[in-house]
Amino acid sequence: MNILVCGGAGYIGSHMAKMLSEQGYQVTVFDNFSTGNRWAVKWGQLFEGDLLSKKDLKKVFERNSFAAVMHFSARSLVGESVKKPELYYQNNVIGTLNLLETMQRAGVKQFIFSSTAATFGNPTSDRIDENHPQQPINPYGWSKLMVEQMLHDLASAGRIDSVSLRYFNAAGADPDGAIGEAHDPETHLIPNVLQSVSGGKQLQVFGTDYPTVDGTCVRDYIHINDLCNAHLLALKYLQTHSGAHGFNLGNGHGFSILEVLQAAERVTGQTIDYEVEGRRPGDPPTLVADSALAQQELGWRPEYTELEAIIATAWNWEQNRRKLGL
Which residues are marked as active site?
140
Give the C-alpha separation, 226 to 241, whole Å.
22
8 A C-beta contact, residue 231 and residue 133: no
Q: What angle do CA 280, 281, 286 make, to 5 degrees?
A: 75
Query: Are residues 193 and 257 in contact, defined by beta-carbon separation less than 8 angstroms?
Result: no
The Cα 15–Cα 37 span in angstroms is: 12
Q: Which of 137, 51, 147 is nearest to 99 (CA)?
A: 51
Pairing of strands 45-48, 26-31: parallel
Q: Residue 5's closest CA among 24, 26, 23, 22?
A: 26
DSSP secondary structure string, 52-98?
Answer: T-HHHHHHHHHH---SEEEE------HHHHHH-HHHHIIIIIIHHHH
Query: Which amino acid, 136?
Result: P
The total of other beta-carbon atoms located within 10 Å of residue 79's CB is 15
Angle between helices 224-237 and 11-22 in degrees, nearest 10: 60
